[in-house]
Amino acid sequence: MKVAMMECDIRIKGFVPTTMVDWEGMIASTIFLPGCNFRCPFCHNRDLVLCPDVLETVPLGYLEEFFFERKGWIDGVCVTGGEPCLHSGIVSLLEWIRGLGLKAKMDTNGSFPDVLKSVIECELVDFIAMDIKAPLDAARYRVASGNRDDDLILRVKSSIGIIRSSGIPHEFRTTVVPLIHSPEDVEAIAETIAGDEDYVLQRFSPNHTIDQRFSQIDPYSEEDLKRASELARKHVSRVRVRGAPIQVNPP
Ligand code: SF4
């Protein structure tokens, strides 16, 4: 049986048919939504954030056909970006995923607590992953996110609280970037989610970054990430490092 075509104006700008790393324990697909209200200098989704129109739109009909043909094989869909909560049609998109008989995971930068609250209240997400870009200090967050909204920290804190009290499986995560974070900063972030079960440190990838100077920066070594993990583990029981193997720029 085929489900009705989604009625919303979201344009999907990327699709990974099968992934076993974007949602732990699940065989999932990932869809990418365009645009973001942040300008993290180390972001490697430059086109998706700055000029999504250059990317081809993935037709919904194609996706419906894909999921229909793999019914029973794909467990769920990861919705990422960009920033999914930026889109007024996010609720319709998640309903569409549910209508296809699939579970839904949503990534967010945590700057839209009201949207987050709605999708949780409507029981449209099975897993939430939220980035915490820096220790929760306005100046530090401004540098890490490139967003200068006065109330940004309040909104990020509000999202952290909403997620922690939601009862929905979740993870908080930080892309650890030299010049932006020290291992002690990672500990400070972990302290703000003390008692939570899961904190993920993502390896920084110096490729196609929004601020091209960050393409010249070598990522942290395994040893540095291990030290940051150990510091974070003082506050959160399960701390993992995730991401592509480290690529070091040639001297
Ligand atoms: S890394 Fe930053 S700029 Fe890039 S998509 Fe995520 S929140 Fe937006």
Q: Do the strands 28-32 and 170-176 form a parallel or antiparallel pair, or are they unpaired?
A: unpaired
How far apart CA 20 and CA 247 sit, in angstroms, is: 22
Q: Could you tell me if 188 and 234 are in contact, meaning their C-beta atoms sit under 8 angstroms apart?
A: no
Domain boundaries, the chain: 14-242
Q: Whose CA is nearest to atom 6 of ligand 1?
A: 82
Q: Write a three-state SS string for 96-157.
A: HHHHCCCEEEEEECCCCHHHHHHHHHCCCCCEEEEECCCCCCHHHHHHHHCCCCCCHHHHHH
- Residue 45 Cα to ligand 1 midpoint, Å, equals 7
**Both tokens assigned to 64:** 């419906």
Ligand 1 neighbourhood includes 111 CB (under 6 angstroms):
no
Pick the CATH number of 14-242 from 3.20.20.70, 3.90.180.10, 3.40.50.720, 3.30.830.10: 3.20.20.70
- Residue 186 Cα to ligand 1 midpoint, Å, equals 18
What count of other Cβ atoms lies within 10 Å of the Cβ of residue 146? 19
Q: Could you tell me if 77 and 95 are in contact, meaning their C-beta atoms sit under 8 angstroms apart?
A: no
- Residue 82 CA: nearest ligand 1 atom is 5
- Residue 139 Cα to ligand 1 midpoint, Å, equals 18
Each of the 251 residues of the chain gets a pLDDT tens digit; together they read: 344 455 667 899 999 999 999 999 999 999 999 999 999 999 999 999 999 999 999 999 999 999 999 999 999 999 999 999 999 999 999 999 999 999 999 999 999 999 999 999 999 999 999 999 999 999 999 999 999 999 999 999 999 999 999 999 999 999 999 999 999 999 999 999 999 989 999 999 898 899 999 999 999 999 999 999 999 999 999 999 997 544 433 33
**Both tokens assigned to 209:** 């970054």
Mutate to test the pocket of ligand 1, among 49, 79, 133, 181 (most ligand atoms within 8 A of CB): 49
Ligand 1 neighbourhood includes 76 CB (under 6 angstroms):
no
